[in-house]
Amino acid sequence: MNTLAVELANHSYPIHVGEGLLSDADLYSPYIGPGGVLVVTNETIGPLYLDKVLGALDGVRVESVALPDGESFKTFATLNRIFDVLIEHRFGRDVTIIALGGGVVGDVAGFAAACYQRGVNYIQIPTTLLAQVDSSVGGKTAINHPGGKNMIGAFHQPVCVISDSETLTTLDDRELRCGVAETIKYGLIRDPDFFDWMETNAKAILARDAAAISEAVIRACQNKAEVVAADEREHGERALLNLGHTFGHAIETGLGHGEWLHGEAVGAGMVMAASMSARLGWLRQDSVARVTELLSACGLPLGAPESLSTERLLELMYIDKKVQAGKLRLILLEAIGKGLVTADFDMQALNATLSTCREAA
């Protein structure tokens, strides 16, 4: 097991990465009080891993709730199912919520923890590569709105993250590719050596090589931990973690949540960000080629779907949490390993990017 730390001003917590961690009672016990535990999982992950978690919590008062699986269920109705169980079983402020699942479970359970009785502790147990390298770390929690992705949420840090690599053995190939997209992101925005490493090792990750996956998770989490520690509430550097997301969220919302997976949309968005950066004269064409070739080799989309018009994409991009005073801010690239957040760009370059970076249906 490797343990990293997210060092925050008012709250720090460990990220444990390794094999067979779900059954390790010692990882849970420091964060569980007399109020008991609610395990939030989904209908896919629960049958696979819930019993292991319950076994590690032997002797603890535990209830569980299995949510429907999929991005389309990241809604108020699903959130209320968690509140219903918490209230029905009279859990108090000393409850610990455990999020056992991928990014949707982590986001919804985390938001429930942020809201219930004005905030309770929660543990993240991410079971997808995307959640292990990204969404489980940093305290962003949210649900979707029909008008935009993750528009309703809160910053609420977990007390612990437990990333058990054995859960990835049941992850389907499409979800695994999505996790690779979010992993590549860290190399693009701040760690060029990691991007080089991903160029060499992405195929090993997709082939489910345990050592490559472990290294990717550790290096990605280290990058994210450093960014979050420096900018917990996304007032500056943390916005870089949204590379590809403004484009990607527009795709997800435009198609309907769940039609494309989050990592697929982010992969396309990163290609679009790289392409636009080159149009602005900031990023070299050979760097754009490297980004495109790596994402293509991972089987990820390289642009927005043809079914979404340029006008519709632009409209949706303006429904974004990074819009300030009516100005759209984008995360773009000056080089591989050097991202920037800017509202100072030529709209013609954006329109051209939206028009030309397209993925056939």
User: What does residue 350 show for φ and ψ, rounded to 5 degrees?
Assistant: -65, -45
Catalytic residue among 81, 262, 279, 358: 262
Q: 3-state class of 101 per DSSP?
A: strand
What is the spatial distance between Cα 315 and Cα 309, in angstroms, rounded to a whole number? Answer: 10
Active site residue 245: yes
Nearest to 165 by CA among 20, 4, 49: 20
Query: In the beta sheet, which residues pair with residue 78?
Result: none
What is the spatial distance between Cα 301 and Cα 41, in angstroms, rounded to a whole number? Answer: 29
Catalytic residue among 149, 177, 224, 279: 224
Catalytic residue among 190, 249, 257, 329: 249
Nearest to 331 by CA among 237, 255, 250, 254: 237
Active site residue 235: no
Q: Is residue 15 within 8 Å of residue 161, measured between CB atoms?
A: yes
Active site residue 145: no
Active site residue 89: no
Active site residue 234: yes
Catalytic residue among 52, 81, 140, 156: 140
Q: 3-state class of 338 per DSSP?
A: strand
Nearest to 13 by CA among 108, 136, 134: 136
Q: Is residue 129 within 8 Å of residue 171, measured between CB atoms?
A: yes
Catalytic residue among 90, 118, 233, 235: 118
Query: In the beta sheet, which residues pair with residue 152?
Result: 143
Amino acid at 41: T
C-alpha distances in Å from residue 317, one per residue of 11, 27, 99, 279, 323: 33, 41, 30, 19, 9
Token pair 């499409």 is found at 174
CA 158 to mean position of chain CA atoms: 14
- Angle (CA) 60-26-137 rounded to 5° is 100
Q: Can you spell out the DSSP letters for 244-262? A: THHHHHHHHHHH-TTSS-H
Active site residue 118: yes
Catalytic residue among 175, 182, 232, 264: 182
User: How many secondary structure helices (H) and strands (E) does the chain include?
Assistant: 13, 13
Active site residue 327: no
Radius of gyration over every alpha carbon of the chain, rounded to an integer in angstroms: 20
Active site residue 182: yes
Catalytic residue among 74, 81, 177, 238: 238
Active site residue 237: no
Catalytic residue among 215, 234, 252, 264: 234
Catalytic residue among 74, 149, 245, 279: 245
Active site residue 7: no
Catalytic residue among 74, 175, 242, 279: 242
* Residue 9: other Cβ atoms inside 10 A: 7
- Active-site positions read 118, 140, 182, 224, 234, 238, 242, 245, 249, 262
